[in-house]
Structure 1
Amino acid sequence: MCEVCAVFGVSEHWTDAGDPMGQHSVAAGILENRAERARRLRLINRILRPYGLKAEDWDGESYAVEDASGRRQLASDLSTLWRVAEQLGDTFIDPLEGEFVIAPSSWSDSYRASN
């Protein structure tokens, strides 16, 4: 556990793999992971915005989800993030719902190139 943040280290979630095939150096994997987390957060926030919620990266390990009144909860991974968002937003959120499905043609060139 980190004595500064009092959070137990959690094992890596499959959605957070910086270098899933082990083809890059450690530094390249870290940079790739950070870039992917930033892209993921942009998409997450597009989904959360209509519910008055927002998510931020929390130390590259977790997500902080906040509602309009400033209440904040941490989520250790992407699947936990949705449960936390539903609790804070007092609603059901389905990120696969039709209105949230983004057509591939609307993805940025950098997102398409990275996937």
Structure 2
Amino acid sequence: MCVLCGQDFVAQVHWTDRHLEDRARAAAPGSDPVAFQGDRRRDRAHRVALTNEILRHYGLKLADWGGSKYVLRDRKGRSEIVQDLGSLWPAAERLAGRVLDPLEPALGETLAGEPVVGAAGRG
């Protein structure tokens, strides 16, 4: 356990990161594991960008922290370290001080008015 942040060093891989971990394990012997790390970082950056499209509506922002955890911040300067995207939403509700409803009409309007980052050119 980290004495500074109180987070566990050993954690299970969240399902959002699982497919790249499985691909790396299934790779042929002698293949370059660094290539999978680049893919993993790009996928995490894309997930952070998409998640921030939603979190912006609630005054929150997510950042990747070293490729292993995330830092969630609000506009008041408060922050929480989250292990994975599964633990993000309870932390986001604590920082926002309210329940985050994905079906909230105002959220839909916000998302409809802004283009989703990274959606163009993806197939």
What TM-score comes out, normalization by structure 1 length? 0.77
Against the structure 1 CA distance between its residues 64 and 97, is the aligned structure 2 distance closer, same or farther, given a 3 Å change threshold?
A: same
Question: Where does residue 15 of structure 2 map in the other structure?
Answer: 14
Quick check: which has more Rg, 1 or 2? 2
Q: Is 1:25–2:25 an aligned residue pair?
A: no
The equivalent position to 1:79 in structure 2, one of 64, 81, 86, is: 86
Q: Where does 1:25-104 land on structure 2 (aligned, <5 Å)? A: 25-95=32-102, 99=108, 100=111
The CA distance in 1 between the partners of 2:103 and 2:72, in whole Å, is 19
Query: Using a 3 Å threshold, how does the CA distance of structure 1 residues 89 and 70 change in structure 2: closer, same or farther?
Result: same
Verify the 8 A CA contact 2:14 2:86 in the aligned structure 1: no
Equivalent pairs: percent with the same residue?
A: 36
Q: Aligned-residue CA RMSD in angstroms?
A: 2.9
Segments of 4+ moved more than 6 angstroms: 101-104
Q: Secondary structure at the match of 2:35?
A: helix
Q: Quick check: 56-65 or 15-24, which moved more?
A: 15-24
CA deviation map 1:35-65 (0-9, x unaligned): 0000000011110001111010012111110
- Between 1:93-102 and 1:38-47, the stretch displaced more is 93-102
> How many Å apart are 1:25 and its aligned residue?
3.5
Aligned residues: 110
Q: Is the 8 A contact 1:75 1:81 kept in 2?
A: yes
1:1-46 Cα offsets, whole Å, 9 max, x none, are 4577653221111101334333463211111110000000001111
Rounded to whole Å, the distance in 1 between the matches of 2:67 and 2:13 is 11
Higher alpha-carbon deviation: 55-64 or 87-96: 87-96
